[in-house]
Amino acid sequence: MIHLDTKGQLTLFPELADSPELPSTATLPEFDQAMHNLIKMNDLGALISVTVHGLDKSYSVHVRELEIPEDFLLDGRGDAVSQQFTLFPEPLRQQLRKLSYYIKGFFNREKSFRTSFGYFLYRPYFRIWSKFVEEQQARLEGFLTDALSGRNYGKYFQRSFEKGYRFFESICDNTAPWIFKEKLKLVYLQTCRKTIKSEKLTLHSINKTTADFPMMAIALKTMHTRSS
């Protein structure tokens, strides 16, 4: 074994060490000591990572990604890409971000310190943290129930869905075998999703020559959306 000293070998918790530069583990005794230190660290507290997903759910339509035959498209639209269509309104996203900042505010200097791997929470605060998480989860679920109930969110989602659907309509040629509905209803989306799940369809396996391909494609897109 070769003993190496590199600046890349950083301690897990540089706040608790005299120097942020530590040698790599090169011998069994060093490994044993590292494990002993890890056990001692576990007695002091634990790392907690707080990551919020899904605040900026969106989708876009990429002609190349969908492998649409060029004969179905207007001239010059073979590389067409739509804008990003969001699935949650901005006021809702702002409220969710506000709640996430409030949760992260729990980790102050008295209870924890921050590392590149997350927050190191001191053990005496474990029970308080557990109760805090339960309270915030109930608060978040209540907020989402109120925000997404009724027809307000349904209307917003329907508008976002229709923007992608109409993008297909704007780029397709008369030779395309697709039929576009004048008015979209969420029940159409539900029917598409049932078919997608039952037949285990993907963006690559979906039939491009069926009349309802644009709707099926957007249904798939909104089932597998990006998030931050």
Give 165-193 pLDDT, tens digit per residue.
Answer: 999 999 999 999 999 999 988 888 889 99
Top pLDDT among 210 and 28 is at 210
pLDDT > 80? residue 135? yes
Domain-embedded: residue 2: no
My answer on whether 115 and 79 are in the same domain is yes
* Burial track 42-51 (b if 16+ CB lie within 10 A, e otherwise): eeebbebeee
In a domain, 161, yes or no: yes
> In terms of C-beta density within 10 A (0-12 exposed, 13-18 middle, 19 or more buried), how is residue 55 classed?
middle
What is the span of the domain harbouring residue 138? Answer: 58-223
On whether both 44 and 84 belong to a single domain, the answer is no
Higher pLDDT, 41 or 92: 92
Tell me: do 30 and 106 sit in the same domain: no
Please indicate, yes or no, whether residues 85 and 39 belong to a single structural domain of this protein.
Answer: no
116 vs 176, residue with greater confidence: 176
Q: Name the residue with higher pLDDT: 79 or 57.
A: 79
Residue 14: other Cβ atoms inside 10 A: 14
Q: 20-34, 72-86, 97-111, 152-166: lowest mean pLDDT where?
A: 20-34
User: Do 71 and 172 belong to one domain?
Assistant: yes
Mean pLDDT is lowest, of 135-139, 158-162, 167-171, 217-221, for 135-139
Give dist(CA 103, CA 101) in Å, integer: 5
Q: Are 34 and 22 in contact (CB under 8 A)?
A: no
Q: Which residue has the higher pLDDT, 15 or 63?
A: 63
Query: 103, 107, 120: which is closest to 45 by C-alpha?
Result: 120
Specify whether 119 is located in the same domain as 160.
yes
pLDDT of residue 1: 41
Average pLDDT over residues 192-202: 93
Give the relative orientation of helices 90-104 and 126-148 as an angle to the nearest 10 degrees. 170
Structural domain includes residue 140:
yes
Kindly state whether residue 9 falls inside one of the protein's structural domains. no
Return the beta strands (E) in the chain as ranges: 45-48, 58-59, 85-86, 112-115, 118-122
Average pLDDT over residues 15-39: 55
- Identify the residue with better confidence: 1 or 88: 88
What's the structural domain count of the chain? Answer: 2
Dmax (CA) of the chain: 75
User: Percent of the chain scored above 90 by pLDDT?
Assistant: 38
Residue 1 lies in a domain: no
62 and 103 share one domain: yes
Give domain status of residue 101, yes or no. Answer: yes
CA–CA gap between residue 130 and residue 23 (Å, rounded): 36
Question: Chain-wide mean pLDDT for the chain?
Answer: 80
pLDDT category, 6, cuts 50, 70, 90?
A: very low
Is 113 or 76 the better-scoring residue by pLDDT? 76
In a domain, 70, yes or no: yes
- Do the domain assignments include residue 53? no
Are 103 and 192 contained in the same domain?
Answer: yes
Per-residue pLDDT reduced to its tens digit, 30-58: 655 555 555 555 556 777 877 766 667 89
Calpha distance 134→139 (Å, rounded): 9
Domain check: are 74 and 41 in the same one? no
| Lowest-pLDDT choice from 24-33, 67-76, 134-143 | 24-33
Place 112 in a pLDDT band, splitting at 50, 70 and 90: confident
